[in-house]
Amino acid sequence: MSRPTIRDVAALSGVSLKTVSRVLNEEPGVRPDTMQRVLDAVAELRFQRNEAAANLRRRNNSTRIVGLVTEDVANPFYSAVAGAIESVARQHRHLLLVASSGENPARERELVEAFCARRVVGLIIVPAGGDHSYLEDEIAAGTPVVFVDRPGLPGRVDSVVTENAEGARAGVTHLLNQGHARIAFLGDSAEIYTAVERHRGYRQALEDAGVTLDYALVRFGPHDVALAEQAARELLALPEPPTAIFAGNNRLTIGSVRAIQETGRRVALVGFDDFEMAEYLDPPVTVLAQDPEALGRNAAELLFDRLAGDGGEPRLVTIGAPLVVRGSGEIAYSDGGTARRRAVAKR
Partner DNA sequence: CTGAAAGCGCTAACAG
Partner DNA sequence: CTGTTAGCGCTTTCAG
Give the footprint of its own copies on this chain (CB under 8 A): 1-3, 46, 48-53, 55-56, 63, 65, 72-76, 78-80, 82-84, 86-87, 90, 95-100, 113-119, 137, 140-142, 254, 257-258, 275-277, 280-282, 293
| Closest to 299 measured CA to CA, from 75, 147, 122, 72 | 147
Among 36, 50, 91, 133, the residue binding DNA under the rule CB under 7 A is: 50
Q: How far is the CB of 43 from its own copies (least distance, A)?
A: 11
Does position 318 bind DNA by CB under 7 A? no
Residue 155's CB is within 10 A of a number of other CB atoms, namely: 9
Tell me the CA distances in angstroms from 89 to 71, 119, 121, 123, 157, one per residue in order: 20, 16, 11, 12, 20
Please pick, from the candidates 1, 26, 31, 74, the single residue that binds DNA as defined by CB under 7 A.
31
Q: Name the 3-class secondary structure at 102.
A: coil
Single out the residue of 36, 43, 44, 56 in contact with DNA (rule: CB under 7 A).
56
Q: How far is the CB of 261 from its own copies (least distance, A)?
A: 8
- Is residue 39 close enough to count as binding DNA by CB under 7 A? no
Closest distance to DNA from the beta carbon of 124 (Å): 24
3-class DSSP state of 182? coil
The binder of DNA chosen from 57, 342, 346, 347 (CB under 7 A): 57
Give the residue among 242, 231, 79 at the shortest CA–CA distance from 176. 242
Measured distance CA(329)–CA(247) in Å, rounded: 11
**Smallest gap, in angstroms, from Cβ of residue 117 to DNA?**
9
CA distances from 229 to 183, 186, 221 (A): 16, 10, 12
* Binding status of residue 340 toward DNA by CB under 7 A: no
Which residue of 36, 44, 53, 91 would you call a contact of DNA, by CB under 7 A?
53
Q: Is residue 226 within the footprint of DNA (CB under 7 A)?
A: no
- Per CB under 7 A, the segment of 27-35, 128-136, 289-297, 323-331 that binds DNA is 27-35
Q: Which helix (H) or strand (E) holds 35?
A: helix 32-45
Residue 140 vs residues 90, 219, 334: alpha-carbon distances, Å:
26, 42, 59
Q: What is the CA radius of gyration of the chain?
A: 27
DSSP letter at 240?
A: S
Q: Interface with DNA includes 124 (CB under 7 A)?
A: no
Using rule CB under 7 A, residue 118 touches DNA: no
Does 7 bind DNA (CB under 7 A)? Our answer is yes
Distance CA 11, CA 108 (A): 46
Pick the stretch among 19-27, 77-85, 216-224, 262-270 that binds DNA (CB under 7 A): 19-27
| C-alpha span between 109 and 69 (Å, rounded) | 9
Spatial separation of the C-alpha atoms in residues 219 and 235, rounded to whole Å: 9
Q: Which residues bind DNA (CB under 7 A)?
A: 2-3, 5-7, 14-19, 21-22, 24-25, 28-31, 34-35, 47, 49-50, 53-54, 56-60
